[in-house]
């Protein structure tokens, strides 16, 4: 395996093609859960786990069900069902094994079901690592690495945003900028900053 290719996938998913700040996926949780650092990082950790597992499961479904039976047109709905089912399964298992952890996650686990960033990772994997219905060597590992790295990029964006918003609480802002207006301005500036990574040649 070419280690450089995996490093390139990680750097690309975290910085260059960040799912929040470059592809603008998962903005609802980005704005809604980033008021404080602890919930933001918890949400990021949960999304990282789900994107990694969703990459594994969706690769298996795409490779062994959709491609062999010429059902690739059902890709989106299949991935939605896979992600929703997996998140519900994880929620049930955590509730049974560790009620304290389940309580700590609160609403964040069900929120992942409707997080378009998770679906975006699965769809992007199927587009990048399957060439014309064929399975290139190493596509499984590349899908898993990209799923994990996309979650790390999501967590990084959430962490940065929550840190900025916590400090904004200490400032005396004009009433017209309080709340969502200043949040969207910060998100725009962060997006522009991450756009600078697009100039990297990997």
Taking only the tens place, the pLDDT of each residue in 158-175 is 999 999 999 888 888 888
Q: What is the mean pLDDT of residues 117-136?
A: 86
The tens digit of pLDDT for each residue in 64-86 reads: 999 989 898 999 999 999 888 88
Q: What is the pLDDT of residue 179?
A: 82
Residue of 28, 3, 19, 2 whose CA lies nearest to 153: 19
Burial (0-12, 13-18, 19+ Cβ within 10 Å), 162: buried
Q: What is the pLDDT of residue 24?
A: 87
- Please report which confidence band the pLDDT of residue 140 belongs to, taking 50, 70 and 90 as the band edges: very high
Q: Please give the helix or strand (H or E) that residue 58 lies within, else none.
A: helix 37-61
Domain boundaries, given as residue ranges, for the chain: 15-195
The tens digit of pLDDT for each residue in 19-32 reads: 999 888 888 878 88
Q: What is the mean pLDDT of residues 138-144?
A: 92
> Would you say 194 and 25 are in contact if contact means Cβ atoms under 8 Å apart?
no
């Amino acid at each position: 395996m070419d280690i450089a290719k995996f490093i390139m996938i990680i750097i690309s998913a975290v910085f260059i093609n960040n799912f929040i700040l470059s592809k603008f996926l998962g903005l609802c949780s980005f704005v809604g859960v980033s008021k404080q650092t602890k919930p933001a990082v918890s949400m990021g950790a949960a999304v990282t786990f789900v994107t990694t597992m969703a990459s594994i499961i969706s690769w298996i479904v795409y490779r062994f069900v959709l491609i062999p039976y010429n059902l690739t047109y059902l890709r989106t709905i299949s991935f939605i069902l896979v992600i929703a089912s997996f998140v519900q399964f994880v929620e049930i298992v955590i509730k049974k094994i560790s009620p304290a952890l389940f309580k700590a996650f609160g609403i964040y686990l069900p929120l992942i079901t409707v997080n378009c960033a998770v679906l975006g990772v699965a769809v992007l994997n199927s587009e990048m690592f399957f060439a014309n219905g064929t399975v290139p060597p190493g596509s499984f590992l590349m899908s898993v690495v990209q799923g994990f790295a996309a979650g790390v990029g999501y967590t990084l964006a959430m962490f940065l945003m929550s840190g900025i918003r916590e400090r904004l609480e200490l400032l005396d802002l004009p009433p017209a900028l309080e709340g969502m207006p200043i949040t969207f301005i910060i998100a725009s500036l962060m997006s522009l900053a991450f756009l600078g990574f697009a100039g990297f040649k990997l």
